[in-house]
Amino acid sequence: MALNPDVKKRIFDAADELHATSETGEYPNVEAVRQRSRAGMNNVVEAMQEWRQNQRKQVQAVREPLPANLHGVLQNMGQSLWETAQQLANESLDTARAAFESEKADLLQLSVEQSDAYEKQAAELETAHLRIAELERLVEVAETTAQAIAQQLEDVQHALLSSEQKATLAEQKADEIEHRAADLRTELDHAHTEADRLRIERDKAQDRAEEAAKQAEKADARTEQLREVLASQTEKADSTIEQLRESLTTQIAKSDAIIEQLRTELTETRTKAEASDQLHAEQRKRTAEEVHRSAERMAKAETECDKARMAAAEAREEAATLRGQLEATKTQNAAMLAALKPSPASN
């Protein structure tokens, strides 16, 4: 099969460039020409044989045949010229023999270079097979690692979702506790307001009791005054006691009734005042108990609110930790995939 002209030209150009850059002037070997021309080994060997033949033809000495006008001269010169011709023939034979030996040496060198190139290609092929096997093993390990990382990533995502749900529930609970605390604060304010109102009513009842006591004192003073007036009238009416006894008896009865009524009113007023004081004391006690219970509920609600806030903070911290683990897993996976990619030198 004839060699492709384009491939042949590319091999010749590569050989010319290598021969031109050689400091010793030696012919380039087959492997160097193959690498430079990027041609097949068989094509390079065949083309290099022709190239070396062309190089030898360029440096071979030119020997032309004897011109016709010299034949007569040669015949006259005799034996000396014949010997000269034989010598020239022998030299030509020696030159042909040297060319044959040179071509033979070139063929041997090409054979050796071809064998070395084949051995080098076999070694490179073996290295490539080993590299492919190593890469296949690394791919299997990477696939196994990627599956494990994917499972870890899924677990982390589930844990992150669970933590977010817990954080959401904790925030909702905290909101509910805050609403309950606000309601308890409202109830506590209402209890304080009710206590203030009861305190005002107690003060008013005490004022009414004091007023009743003053009225009783005035009634006692009035009674004493009436008694004094009665005694004075009794002394003045000694002379007319019989005539005024009936009238006096009536007045005394009326005065006693008035006194008894005033005493009854005073007693009732005192009883009402004592009952009012007792009622206010019980109400104050109930109010104090209610305030105490409200304060306990308020403290308990604030404690639960603080716990809920702490739980929400822990949930947020756990979610942040899980996000950091997720980002670290993604970074590790990307670094492993980048390490598994073949480098340009291996290609």
Amino acid identity for residue 57 in this structure:
K
Q: What is the pLDDT of the chain when averaged over all its residues? A: 78
Specify the pLDDT at position 169. 87
CA-CA distance, 146 to 139, in Å (whole number)? 10
Q: Report how far residue 206's alpha carbon sits from residue 213's, in angstroms, rounded to the nearest whole number.
A: 10
Contacts 24+ apart (CB under 8 A), 201-207: 201/280, 202/276, 202/277, 202/280, 202/284, 205/273, 205/276, 205/277, 205/280, 206/273, 206/277
**Closest listed residue to residue 15, CA positions, set 56, 52, 53, 59:** 52
Going from the C-alpha of 262 to that of each of 52, 156, 222, 272, the distances in angstroms are: 158, 90, 10, 15
pLDDT digits (tens, 9 = 90+) for 181-217: 788 888 888 878 887 888 898 888 788 868 867 875 8
| pLDDT-based confidence at residue 60 (cuts at 50, 70, 90) | very low
Over residues 289-316, the pLDDT tens digits come to 876 887 787 788 778 868 877 877 887 8
Q: What DSSP line would sit under 43-60, residue for residue? A: HHHHHHHHHHHHHHHHHS
pLDDT score of 87 more than 90: no
Angle at which helices 41-59 and 79-236 pack, to 10 degrees?
Answer: 140
- Please report how the helices 41-59 and 30-37 are oriented relative to each other, as an axis angle in degrees rounded to 10: 110
- Apex CA 200: angle with CA 196 and CA 202, to 5°? 115
pLDDT for 347 equals 42
User: What is the arithmetic mean of pLDDT over 44-73?
Assistant: 70
| Alpha-carbon span 312 to 318, nearest angstrom | 10
- φ/ψ of 61, rounded to 5, equals -70, 145
Q: Which residues does 342 contact at the CB level (< 8 Å), separation at least 6?
A: 135
For residue range 160-185, what is the model confidence (pLDDT) as tens digits?
A: 888 788 878 878 887 888 888 788 88
Per-residue confidence (pLDDT) for residue 8, from 0 to 100: 92
When pLDDT is averaged across residues 219-226 and rounded to a whole number, the result is 69
